[in-house]
Chain A
Amino acid sequence: DAMVIQNPRYQVTQFGKPVTLSCSQTLNHNVMYWYQQKSSQAPKLLFHYYDKDFNNEADTPDNFQSRRPNTSFCFLDIRSPGLGDAAMYLCATSRAGGSGYTFGSGTRLTVV
């Protein structure tokens, strides 16, 4: 089945130690998104790629970066995780034609 896969499902990292979260898709969607979701809150968009074009949200901290080496993969890099970055990180894809999103299962990040 075509899907969006996030790895790992759970990630524990040390305060200040760089961490990378991975997302892959078999849907061939041209748009990929990264959302941060804290407990009992709505998902908050960090940035998205439209093909190779990177679109950063104005309030996304510089600590968060992203890479999209090809259509299928997208990575979220947190350069120096703080305790406040502990959250669920959701990857989503879209065909950018108004069709809505397909989400992955998320990566739960814990910072110790």
Chain B
Amino acid sequence: AQSVTQPDIHITVSEGASLELRCNYSYGATPYLFWYVQSPGQGLQLLLKYFSGDTLVQGIKGFEAEFKRSQSSFNLRKPSVHWSDAAEYFCAVGPNSGGSNYKLTFGKGTLLTVNP
């Protein structure tokens, strides 16, 4: 069964500092990987996704993530955090094929607080 672990429940960084959010997955084959962001009271917005090819993927809002197959990781990074980045971040994994049972598995999320 597929699973996602986000080891950090809550991270606090200062505005302008760099950020790395960790994500580890368990999956039998090469998965599709996603990062979503959720602001309070809102739905989830896709930041970026990895399907294949270049293991460093660029997303919206200046975020990037690196797929490391050997470590089963897909960590999210941003070189300089802005106060508006404060939100909850979810890593998700899904199968690399479609079908009637296509669904994503989400991690428990990491809450990001940004100090001025």
Contacts and interface: CB of A to CB of B under 8 A. Distances in A.
A72 interface: no
B98 A103 contact: no
B17 interface: no
The majority secondary structure among interface residues of chain B is loop
Contacts of A98: 32, 51, 94-98, 102
B53 interface: no
Nearest to B33: A100
B52 to A, nearest CB: 10
A22 to B, nearest CB: 14
Given A100-B32, A103-B43, A105-B43, A43 B99 contact: no
Contacts of A43: 44, 90, 106
Contacts of B103: 33, 45, 48
Contact of A100 (B49, B100, B109): B49
B43 A40 contact: no
Nearest to A4: B43
B43 A106 contact: yes
A108 B102 CA distance: 26
Interface of B: 32, 34, 36, 41-46, 49, 51, 88, 90, 92, 94-104, 106-109, 111
Interface of A: 4, 6, 31, 33, 40-43, 45, 48, 50, 53, 55, 88, 90, 92, 94-98, 100-106, 108
Given A100-B104, A105-B43, 7 more contacts: A42-B109, A43-B90, A98-B94, A98-B96, A103-B44, A105-B42, A106-B42
